[in-house]
Copies of this chain bind each other. A is one copy, B any other.
Amino acid sequence: MQFSKSTDYALHALLHLCLSDHGNNIGIKELSATLGVSESYLSKIMSKLRQDGIVRAVPGMNGGYELARSAEQITFLDVIQVIEGRQHLFECSNSKSQQHRLLVETETAEQECPQCIIEAVMDGAEQHLHQYLQEHTIQSVLDEAFKRCDHEANKK
């Protein structure tokens, strides 16, 4: 269970949009050269980011990409969900098994079946993970970088 390379690329692409923010758009050529990923592949990723409203894109001369909102408003969770999708971390695949009947029998209330206990644990894990990822933004990474930089400067 790992995040895909695409997530890696997406994060770095967004960071580059922040760092080289000279008002203009950044073309796929520059992004591709900076990240060391092919233009074709990276453009798919950028396109996804655009569809989800993370970046804006304009075609044509001097076109390219720019952030659609400020770096404080782009969380790690946003980026990850665009690339990895929004499926649950755990989705039961054997609810027709004999096991399931036994487990659910324990809790087979009158009406609405409450959430399965295993799924409850797993969904809890997912919520914790999401909450953490939501508290960390692209901006927070930049801030941390500057902080480290200052720290180094002070030591000299």
Contacts and interface: CB of A to CB of B under 8 A. Distances in A.
A11 B110 CA distance: 27
A144 B35 CA distance: 48
A114 B148 contact: yes
Interface of A: 1-5, 7-9, 11-12, 15-16, 19, 33-37, 76, 80, 84-85, 87-94, 96-99, 102-103, 106-107, 109, 114, 117-118, 120-122, 124-125, 128-129, 132-133, 136, 140-141, 144-146, 148-149, 152
Interface of A is mostly: helix
A11 B88 CA distance: 17
Contacts of A11: 118
